[in-house]
Amino acid sequence: MSARPPLSRQQLRGVTLVEAMVALLIMSFGMLALVGLQANLRRSADVAKQRGEATKLAQVDMEGTRFFAALDAETAPAGTTAFSDIAASAVESAGRADSNATFSLSRTVVSSVSLNRPLTSVDVNVQWVDRAGQAQNVRLSTFVAAIDPGLSGSLMVPPANGVASRRPQNRSADIPAPAADVGGGRSVFKPDPAGTVAWVFNNISGEITNLCSDLSAGTLPADVDISGCVATKAYLLSGYVRFSLVSPPDSELPSSSAFAFGLSLAVDTPEAEFPSPAYQCYSRLPSATMGSYYCAVFPRSSTASPATRPIDTWGGRLELDGFSLTNYKVCRYSADYDGNGSISNGEHPATYAKVAGALTRQNFLVIRAIDDCPAGHAASPSTGVFTNTATVRHQSAP
């Protein structure tokens, strides 16, 4: 075998030229790809900027629908909007004038009702065309409920006296609403508006601290003189009496005519351990179909009884009287509201035990003697039912 002759200098130069041209071709493809990548990056950055502007426009418009000052236009202050003003709209040229895109905004509104409350569905869509001629859009959706904006003001009010939430009229919720605030952290209430007896409440604890027996009849003025009232300690026991004299009786919407009734409280400890009298009870007929009652119960003050009857507590059974149980039956609104397996004092048991504070909303239902107390229904917030109308028998003829 003979050896291949070496390439000449001219041949070597030709090979080098071809290699250089191939390298130049490869580099050209790379440069073209880099240019395309830069163009895509620039377009993506441009679209991202435009999408951010569109999102901001949609958010501002959506939050504007929540910025209403009243539920109805008639009650809204001048220059403000109301919940009823939320409506569909369209803006062809939205956004800033120096933006590199022209945005169009459209708002769609659909009204409905949820849990017996008006509810508005708001859908905001912002559209534009990017530099590449591609259509783009941002869409946001929300619900706006018809909630009085005045309620939000309570979130700005700091709690007072260590109480976690704002109290009605800045006092204990156990104090009857008609009670007159007389200053000094006290309120005065007349259980019988036409009578001369009044009770003085501590606004913070809700306890009755004084008894007045000779105040003038009628509505109490804010400057009523209570200096002569006798100091005491008592707890409020109050509620409503409703009437359903149809068959079957209705515990949810009783509408039968109300009639006068009285009250008696049988305490479970000897009378000697209580002040005399052991309680004061007054009944009212505030409407044609409903009555109410208020009792001031004086807790046990003697230390002679066993520890099962703690001092400053009371126990016993409250009953309605003044009418024949031969014709009528008394049911009480009562159920295990907190689900702990027992009926506590606040859930209206047949007999109270070791009561050491006010008990309100201890309600009764009067029905015909031949009917059974209606079972009612439990509360179900998810379906718009916020009250428990269950009743059980409390008084009936033997």
- DSSP conformation letters of 44-59: HHHHHHHHHHHHHHHH
Neighbours of 268 (CB within 10 A): 14
Q: Write the CA distances from 285 to 9, 170, 194, 393, integer angstroms.
A: 126, 28, 13, 22
Q: What is the pLDDT of residue 323?
A: 95
Beta bridge partners of 305: none
Per DSSP, the three-state class of 392 is strand
Q: What is the pLDDT of residue 318?
A: 95
pLDDT tens for the 398 residues of the chain, in order:
566 666 566 655 566 777 777 777 788 777 777 766 666 777 778 888 888 898 999 999 988 888 888 877 777 777 788 888 888 999 888 878 778 888 999 999 998 876 566 888 999 999 998 888 889 999 999 988 888 776 666 565 555 555 555 567 788 889 998 898 888 889 999 999 888 899 999 998 899 999 998 877 666 776 778 888 889 999 999 999 999 999 999 999 999 999 999 999 988 755 545 556 788 999 999 889 999 999 999 887 765 555 556 778 888 999 999 999 999 999 999 998 888 888 999 999 999 998 989 999 999 999 999 999 999 988 877 777 778 899 999 999 98
Using the CB atoms, write b or e for 190-212: b if 16+ within 10 Å: bbeeeeebbbbbbbebbbbbbbb
Q: What is the pLDDT of residue 161?
A: 52
Q: What is the pLDDT of residue 112?
A: 82
Q: How far apart, in whole angstroms, are the C-alpha atoms of residue 394 and residue 378? A: 19
Q: What is the pLDDT of residue 379?
A: 82
Q: What is the pLDDT of residue 274?
A: 52
Residue 342 dihedral angles phi and psi, to the nearest 5°: -145, 165
Q: Write the CA distances from 313 to 181, 305, 334, 353, integer angstroms.
A: 26, 12, 22, 8
Q: What is the pLDDT of residue 254?
A: 93
Residue 114 exposure: Cα atoms within 13 Å on the Cβ side: 11
Residue showing tokens 């062809």: 92
Q: How far apart, in whole angstroms, are the C-alpha atoms of residue 194 and residue 286? A: 13
Q: CA nearest 386: which of 394, 396, 378, 397? A: 378
Q: What is the pLDDT of residue 222?
A: 66
| Helix, strand, coil % over all residues of the chain, rounded to 5 | 20, 35, 45
Q: How far apart, in whole angstroms, are the C-alpha atoms of residue 387 and residue 382? A: 12
Q: Where are the alpha helices (DSSP H) in 192-247?
A: none
Q: Write the CA distances from 337 to 26, 50, 206, 333, 342, integer angstroms.
A: 81, 54, 23, 11, 9
- Predicted model pTM: 0.59
Q: How far apart, in whole angstroms, are the C-alpha atoms of residue 40 and residue 34? A: 10
Q: CA nearest 134: which of 26, 251, 50, 214? A: 50
Residue 236 dihedral angles phi and psi, to the nearest 5°: -80, 140
Per DSSP, the three-state class of 42 is helix
Q: Where are the alpha helices (DSSP H) in the chain?
A: 9-66
